[in-house]
Amino acid sequence: MKLRPLQDWVLLRIEKEEKTPAGIVIPDTVKERPKEGVVVAVGPGYYEEPEDAAGGEKRFVATEVKPGQKVLYESWAARDIKLDGEEYVLVRERNILGIKEG
């Protein structure tokens, strides 16, 4: 992988189902964008702006997700990219809804 996300961006490998459980093939034109992916790479985090405009210090907020975790994300916030012939999405960590466990 030759992409290292910056700030709080997260690179996800999307998991697509090409067939329904009954074996029906779903064409690309009808498929909904998946809302589940596996974390491939994460940025280090971002600096939060101070609450008041008069001053204060920026606070660093580290990312919480880690490579290998399965996550649910808001599909409208995803940016599609293609790397080495494979499809991925980039999302900000704040648009990840949760981590699937178990």
pLDDT digits (tens, 9 = 90+) for 47-85: 887 776 566 788 889 999 999 999 999 888 889 998 888
Domains of the chain with CATH codes: 9-100 (2.30.33.40)
**CA-CA distance, 43 to 65, in Å (whole number)?**
10
Mean pLDDT across the chain: 83
The model's pLDDT over 9-42, given as tens digits with 9 standing for 90+, comes to 999 998 765 656 676 766 555 556 558 999 999 9
Q: Are 89 and 81 in contact (CB under 8 A)?
A: yes
Helix (H/G/I), strand (E/B), else coil: 94? helix
Q: Which pLDDT belongs to residue 45?
A: 94
Q: Which pLDDT belongs to residue 33?
A: 58
